[in-house]
Protein backbone atom coordinates (compact mmCIF):
# COMPACT_ATOMS: atom_id res chain seq x y z
CA UNK A 1 0.00 0.00 0.00
CA UNK A 2 1.38 3.43 -0.94
CA UNK A 3 2.15 6.08 1.65
CA UNK A 4 -0.66 8.24 0.26
CA UNK A 5 -3.19 5.46 0.78
CA UNK A 6 -1.80 4.78 4.28
CA UNK A 7 -2.31 8.45 5.14
CA UNK A 8 -5.85 8.46 3.78
CA UNK A 9 -6.74 5.29 5.68
CA UNK A 10 -5.31 6.56 8.96
CA UNK A 11 -6.94 9.96 8.42
CA UNK A 12 -10.35 8.34 8.07
CA UNK A 13 -9.76 6.32 11.22
CA UNK A 14 -8.72 9.42 13.18
CA UNK A 15 -11.84 11.26 12.04
CA UNK A 16 -14.06 8.27 12.84
CA UNK A 17 -12.55 7.83 16.30
CA UNK A 18 -13.14 11.53 16.99
CA UNK A 19 -16.84 11.06 16.28
CA UNK A 20 -16.38 13.18 13.15
CA UNK A 21 -15.43 16.14 15.33
CA UNK A 22 -12.17 16.46 13.36
CA UNK A 23 -12.58 17.47 9.74
CA UNK A 24 -11.10 15.02 7.23
CA UNK A 25 -8.44 17.44 5.93
CA UNK A 26 -7.24 18.07 9.49
CA UNK A 27 -7.32 14.34 10.25
CA UNK A 28 -5.32 13.65 7.09
CA UNK A 29 -2.72 16.23 8.13
CA UNK A 30 -2.39 14.53 11.54
CA UNK A 31 -2.01 11.18 9.76
CA UNK A 32 0.63 12.57 7.39
CA UNK A 33 2.65 13.88 10.32
CA UNK A 34 2.36 10.53 12.12
CA UNK A 35 3.34 8.46 9.07
CA UNK A 36 6.19 10.67 7.89
CA UNK A 37 4.33 12.00 4.88
CA UNK A 38 4.47 15.68 5.77
CA UNK A 39 7.26 17.63 4.00
CA UNK A 40 9.76 18.51 6.70
CA UNK A 41 10.43 21.94 5.21
CA UNK A 42 6.85 22.94 6.01
CA UNK A 43 7.43 22.41 9.73
CA UNK A 44 8.53 25.15 12.12
CA UNK A 45 12.01 24.66 13.63
CA UNK A 46 10.48 23.85 17.04
CA UNK A 47 8.57 20.97 15.44
CA UNK A 48 11.64 19.65 13.63
CA UNK A 49 13.79 19.48 16.78
CA UNK A 50 11.96 16.55 18.48
CA UNK A 51 11.48 14.89 15.08
CA UNK A 52 15.21 14.94 14.43
CA UNK A 53 15.93 13.61 17.91
CA UNK A 54 13.62 10.64 17.26
CA UNK A 55 15.81 9.61 14.33
CA UNK A 56 19.29 10.46 15.61
CA UNK A 57 19.00 9.56 19.27
CA UNK A 58 20.36 13.02 20.18
CA UNK A 59 19.16 14.88 23.22
CA UNK A 60 16.72 17.66 22.35
CA UNK A 61 19.36 20.15 23.49
CA UNK A 62 21.81 18.79 20.91
CA UNK A 63 19.17 18.75 18.17
CA UNK A 64 18.21 22.32 19.04
CA UNK A 65 21.83 23.40 18.50
CA UNK A 66 21.63 22.06 14.95
CA UNK A 67 18.30 23.50 13.76
CA UNK A 68 17.58 27.16 13.16
CA UNK A 69 15.08 29.05 11.03
CA UNK A 70 17.28 28.71 7.92
CA UNK A 71 18.17 25.01 8.41
CA UNK A 72 17.04 22.77 5.58
CA UNK A 73 14.97 19.79 6.71
CA UNK A 74 16.35 18.03 9.77
CA UNK A 75 19.77 19.56 9.23
CA UNK A 76 21.59 16.26 8.66
CA UNK A 77 23.07 17.50 5.38
CA UNK A 78 22.83 21.25 5.95
CA UNK A 79 26.45 22.25 6.42
CA UNK A 80 29.30 24.26 4.97
CA UNK A 81 31.25 22.96 1.96
CA UNK A 82 34.30 22.44 4.18
CA UNK A 83 32.26 20.34 6.60
CA UNK A 84 30.84 18.27 3.75
CA UNK A 85 34.29 17.58 2.30
CA UNK A 86 35.63 16.56 5.72
CA UNK A 87 32.68 14.24 6.38
CA UNK A 88 33.25 12.51 3.04
CA UNK A 89 36.88 11.88 4.03
CA UNK A 90 35.76 10.73 7.48
CA UNK A 91 33.43 8.24 5.79
CA UNK A 92 36.48 6.60 4.20
CA UNK A 93 37.87 6.10 7.71
CA UNK A 94 34.68 4.95 9.45
CA UNK A 95 33.45 2.63 6.69
CA UNK A 96 36.70 0.79 5.93
CA UNK A 97 37.88 -2.02 8.17
CA UNK A 98 39.43 -5.49 8.11
CA UNK A 99 40.48 -5.00 4.50
CA UNK A 100 43.89 -3.94 3.22
CA UNK A 101 43.27 -2.44 -0.17
CA UNK A 102 43.23 1.27 -0.80
CA UNK A 103 45.18 3.88 1.15
CA UNK A 104 42.47 4.56 3.74
CA UNK A 105 41.67 0.92 4.47
CA UNK A 106 44.65 0.74 6.84
CA UNK A 107 43.21 3.59 8.87
CA UNK A 108 40.74 0.92 10.07
CA UNK A 109 38.76 3.32 12.28
CA UNK A 110 35.51 1.43 11.74
CA UNK A 111 36.30 0.20 15.28
CA UNK A 112 34.73 3.49 16.42
CA UNK A 113 31.37 1.75 15.86
CA UNK A 114 31.93 -0.27 19.04
CA UNK A 115 31.46 2.94 21.05
CA UNK A 116 27.98 3.49 19.54
CA UNK A 117 28.52 7.22 19.04
CA UNK A 118 25.55 9.48 18.33
CA UNK A 119 26.22 11.88 15.46
CA UNK A 120 25.02 15.46 15.87
CA UNK A 121 25.80 17.11 12.50
CA UNK A 122 25.63 20.89 12.53
CA UNK A 123 26.20 23.69 10.05
CA UNK A 124 29.75 24.50 11.11
CA UNK A 125 30.88 21.33 12.86
CA UNK A 126 30.27 17.64 13.40
CA UNK A 127 29.64 16.68 17.02
CA UNK A 128 30.16 13.02 17.92
CA UNK A 129 28.58 12.14 21.26
CA UNK A 130 30.45 9.19 22.77
CA UNK A 131 29.27 9.13 26.37
CA UNK A 132 31.32 6.13 27.39
CA UNK A 133 34.78 7.27 26.35
CA UNK A 134 35.23 10.40 24.23
CA UNK A 135 39.00 10.40 24.75
CA UNK A 136 39.21 6.81 23.49
CA UNK A 137 37.32 7.70 20.33
CA UNK A 138 39.56 10.71 19.78
CA UNK A 139 42.59 8.46 20.17
CA UNK A 140 41.24 6.21 17.42
CA UNK A 141 40.95 9.11 15.00
CA UNK A 142 43.94 11.25 15.91
CA UNK A 143 47.53 11.01 14.86
CA UNK A 144 50.11 11.15 17.64
CA UNK A 145 53.63 12.50 17.63
CA UNK A 146 55.98 10.04 15.93
CA UNK A 147 53.18 7.78 14.61
CA UNK A 148 52.82 8.81 10.98
CA UNK A 149 50.63 5.91 9.90
CA UNK A 150 47.88 6.54 12.45
CA UNK A 151 45.00 8.97 12.40
CA UNK A 152 42.97 10.77 9.77
CA UNK A 153 45.50 12.81 7.78
CA UNK A 154 45.48 16.43 8.85
CA UNK A 155 43.31 16.06 11.97
CA UNK A 156 44.73 18.10 14.86
CA UNK A 157 43.92 18.72 18.52
CA UNK A 158 42.59 22.25 19.01
CA UNK A 159 41.20 22.40 22.54
CA UNK A 160 39.83 20.19 25.32
CA UNK A 161 37.16 21.41 27.74
CA UNK A 162 34.57 20.16 30.21
CA UNK A 163 30.85 20.94 30.29
CA UNK A 164 28.17 19.40 32.52
CA UNK A 165 31.00 17.43 34.08
CA UNK A 166 31.85 15.73 30.77
CA UNK A 167 34.98 16.07 28.66
CA UNK A 168 34.94 17.31 25.06
CA UNK A 169 37.83 17.14 22.60
CA UNK A 170 37.76 19.60 19.68
CA UNK A 171 39.71 18.58 16.60
CA UNK A 172 40.45 20.71 13.54
CA UNK A 173 41.09 19.25 10.08
CA UNK A 174 43.88 21.29 8.51
CA UNK A 175 43.14 20.66 4.79
CA UNK A 176 39.45 21.67 5.05
CA UNK A 177 39.37 23.77 8.21
CA UNK A 178 36.43 21.67 9.43
CA UNK A 179 35.75 21.15 13.14
CA UNK A 180 35.03 17.78 14.77
CA UNK A 181 34.03 17.69 18.44
CA UNK A 182 34.02 14.37 20.31
CA UNK A 183 32.19 14.69 23.60
CA UNK A 184 30.82 12.77 26.54
CA UNK A 185 28.13 15.42 27.06
CA UNK A 186 24.76 14.29 25.63
CA UNK A 187 23.80 17.94 25.11
CA UNK A 188 26.88 18.49 22.97
CA UNK A 189 27.47 21.77 24.78
CA UNK A 190 29.94 24.10 23.07
CA UNK A 191 30.53 26.50 25.97
CA UNK A 192 32.46 24.53 28.53
CA UNK A 193 34.93 25.60 31.15
CA UNK A 194 38.40 24.52 32.24
CA UNK A 195 39.55 24.87 28.64
CA UNK A 196 42.99 23.57 27.74
CA UNK A 197 44.98 23.81 24.52
CA UNK A 198 47.42 21.21 25.80
CA UNK A 199 46.18 17.69 24.99
CA UNK A 200 46.30 14.90 27.57
CA UNK A 201 47.93 12.60 25.02
CA UNK A 202 50.77 13.26 22.58
CA UNK A 203 48.40 14.30 19.79
CA UNK A 204 49.50 16.46 16.92
CA UNK A 205 48.22 20.00 17.45
CA UNK A 206 47.48 23.05 15.31
CA UNK A 207 51.16 23.93 15.57
CA UNK A 208 52.05 20.80 13.56
CA UNK A 209 51.92 21.15 9.77
CA UNK A 210 50.90 18.29 7.50
CA UNK A 211 53.56 15.59 7.51
CA UNK A 212 55.05 14.14 4.34
CA UNK A 213 53.18 10.90 4.99
CA UNK A 214 49.86 12.74 5.41
CA UNK A 215 50.36 14.61 2.14
CA UNK A 216 51.04 11.35 0.32
CA UNK A 217 48.03 9.66 1.89
CA UNK A 218 45.67 12.50 1.00
CA UNK A 219 47.04 12.58 -2.54
CA UNK A 220 46.24 8.86 -2.88
CA UNK A 221 42.54 9.41 -2.15
CA UNK A 222 40.67 9.51 -5.48
CA UNK A 223 38.76 12.67 -6.42
CA UNK A 224 35.16 12.75 -5.17
CA UNK A 225 32.53 14.57 -7.23
CA UNK A 226 30.30 17.15 -5.56
CA UNK A 227 27.20 14.96 -5.48
CA UNK A 228 29.23 11.93 -4.39
CA UNK A 229 30.65 14.06 -1.58
CA UNK A 230 27.09 14.65 -0.39
CA UNK A 231 26.37 10.90 -0.47
CA UNK A 232 29.53 9.94 1.45
CA UNK A 233 29.02 12.75 3.96
CA UNK A 234 25.44 11.50 4.32
CA UNK A 235 26.74 8.12 5.48
CA UNK A 236 28.49 9.83 8.40
CA UNK A 237 25.45 11.95 9.33
CA UNK A 238 23.33 8.78 9.38
CA UNK A 239 25.89 6.66 11.24
CA UNK A 240 23.45 5.58 13.98
CA UNK A 241 19.96 6.45 12.76
CA UNK A 242 16.74 4.67 13.72
CA UNK A 243 13.49 5.08 11.80
CA UNK A 244 10.87 6.50 14.14
CA UNK A 245 8.33 4.04 12.72
CA UNK A 246 10.66 1.09 13.27
CA UNK A 247 11.23 0.11 9.63
CA UNK A 248 15.03 0.49 9.43
CA UNK A 249 18.16 1.24 11.45
CA UNK A 250 21.74 2.04 10.42
CA UNK A 251 23.81 1.09 13.46
CA UNK A 252 27.08 -0.63 12.51
CA UNK A 253 27.40 -2.73 15.67
CA UNK A 254 23.90 -4.11 16.36
CA UNK A 255 20.23 -3.82 15.42
CA UNK A 256 18.56 -1.26 17.72
CA UNK A 257 15.14 -2.55 16.60
CA UNK A 258 16.12 -6.10 17.66
CA UNK A 259 14.41 -7.67 14.64
CA UNK A 260 14.71 -11.48 14.69
CA UNK A 261 15.42 -11.66 10.95
CA UNK A 262 18.34 -9.25 11.24
CA UNK A 263 20.14 -11.23 13.94
CA UNK A 264 21.50 -13.52 11.23
CA UNK A 265 23.96 -10.75 10.40
CA UNK A 266 25.85 -11.57 13.60
CA UNK A 267 27.45 -14.58 11.96
CA UNK A 268 30.24 -16.60 13.66
CA UNK A 269 32.91 -15.18 11.35
CA UNK A 270 31.83 -11.60 12.13
CA UNK A 271 31.89 -12.38 15.87
CA UNK A 272 35.36 -13.96 15.68
CA UNK A 273 37.12 -11.59 13.30
CA UNK A 274 34.95 -8.49 13.21
CA UNK A 275 32.97 -7.08 10.30
CA UNK A 276 34.60 -6.44 6.95
CA UNK A 277 33.86 -3.05 5.39
CA UNK A 278 35.18 -1.52 2.21
CA UNK A 279 34.15 1.89 0.87
CA UNK A 280 35.94 2.92 -2.29
CA UNK A 281 35.46 4.47 -5.71
CA UNK A 282 36.33 7.59 -7.68
CA UNK A 283 34.58 10.63 -9.07
CA UNK A 284 30.83 10.06 -8.99
CA UNK A 285 30.90 6.26 -8.66
CA UNK A 286 31.36 4.65 -5.22
CA UNK A 287 30.68 1.28 -3.63
CA UNK A 288 30.28 0.19 0.00
CA UNK A 289 30.38 -3.54 0.65
CA UNK A 290 30.32 -5.05 4.13
CA UNK A 291 29.47 -7.88 6.48
CA UNK A 292 27.56 -7.43 9.73
CA UNK A 293 25.19 -4.56 10.40
CA UNK A 294 23.19 -2.81 9.01
CA UNK A 295 21.27 -4.45 6.18
CA UNK A 296 21.94 -2.77 2.81
CA UNK A 297 18.24 -2.07 2.40
CA UNK A 298 18.17 -0.25 5.75
CA UNK A 299 21.01 2.04 4.71
CA UNK A 300 19.42 2.69 1.31
CA UNK A 301 16.14 3.62 3.01
CA UNK A 302 17.90 5.95 5.45
CA UNK A 303 19.74 7.79 2.68
CA UNK A 304 16.56 8.31 0.63
CA UNK A 305 13.92 8.64 3.34
CA UNK A 306 11.30 11.37 2.93
CA UNK A 307 12.01 12.90 6.34
CA UNK A 308 15.56 11.85 7.20
CA UNK A 309 17.11 11.23 3.79
CA UNK A 310 19.25 13.27 1.42
CA UNK A 311 17.07 15.59 -0.63
CA UNK A 312 16.82 14.33 -4.21
CA UNK A 313 18.41 10.93 -3.52
CA UNK A 314 16.67 7.81 -4.83
CA UNK A 315 17.54 4.12 -4.83
CA UNK A 316 17.01 1.12 -7.08
CA UNK A 317 17.79 -2.53 -6.50
CA UNK A 318 19.80 -4.77 -8.83
CA UNK A 319 20.18 -8.27 -7.39
CA UNK A 320 21.94 -7.95 -4.02
CA UNK A 321 22.95 -4.33 -4.68
CA UNK A 322 21.03 -1.23 -3.67
CA UNK A 323 22.13 1.74 -5.76
CA UNK A 324 21.58 5.19 -4.25
CA UNK A 325 21.64 7.91 -6.89
CA UNK A 326 21.98 11.66 -6.45
CA UNK A 327 22.19 13.54 -9.73
CA UNK A 328 25.02 11.92 -11.68
CA UNK A 329 26.60 10.28 -8.61
CA UNK A 330 25.89 6.77 -7.36
CA UNK A 331 26.68 4.77 -4.22
CA UNK A 332 26.26 0.99 -4.45
CA UNK A 333 25.43 -0.76 -1.17
CA UNK A 334 26.29 -4.47 -1.22
CA UNK A 335 26.15 -7.38 1.20
CA UNK A 336 29.20 -9.54 1.89
CA UNK A 337 32.96 -9.30 1.40
CA UNK A 338 32.95 -9.30 -2.40
CA distance 257 to 270: 20
Q: Do 127 and 120 touch, CB atoms closer than 8 A?
A: yes
Residue 157 to residues 174, 178, 201, 205, Cα–Cα distance (Å): 10, 12, 10, 5
Residue 8: name the closest of 27, 34, 33, 36 by CA. Answer: 27
Mean pLDDT of 214-234: 94
Q: How buried is 145 (Cβ within 10 angstroms: 0-12 exposed, 13-18 middle, 19+ buried)?
A: exposed
Residue range 326-335, pLDDT digits in tens: 999 999 999 9
What mean pLDDT value characterizes the chain? 86
Q: Provide the CA 48 distance to its chain's centre, in angstroms.
A: 18
Percent of the chain residues topping a pLDDT of 70:
86
Distance between CA atoms of residues 246 and 78, nearest Å? 25
pLDDT tens-place string over residues 164-182: 888 899 999 999 999 999 9
Out of 101-110, 204-213, 279-288, the most confident range is 279-288
Residue 156 CB neighbour total at 10 angstroms:
21
On the question of pLDDT at 197 being above 90, the answer is no
Rounded mean pLDDT, 283-287: 97
Quote the Cα angle for 114-120-125, to 5°.
115
Phi, psi of 15, rounded to the nearest 5 degrees:
-65, -40
Amino acid sequence: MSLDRDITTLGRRIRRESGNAILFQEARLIAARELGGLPVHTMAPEERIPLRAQYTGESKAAARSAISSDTRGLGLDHCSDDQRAFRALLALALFNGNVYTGPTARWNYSVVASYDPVMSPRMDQLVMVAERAPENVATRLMATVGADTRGIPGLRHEVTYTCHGQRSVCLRHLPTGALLTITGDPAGCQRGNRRSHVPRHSYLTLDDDLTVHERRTLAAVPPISGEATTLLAGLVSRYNLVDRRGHWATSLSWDPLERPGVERRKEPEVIRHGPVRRLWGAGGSWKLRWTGYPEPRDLALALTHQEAGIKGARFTRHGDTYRVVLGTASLDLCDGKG
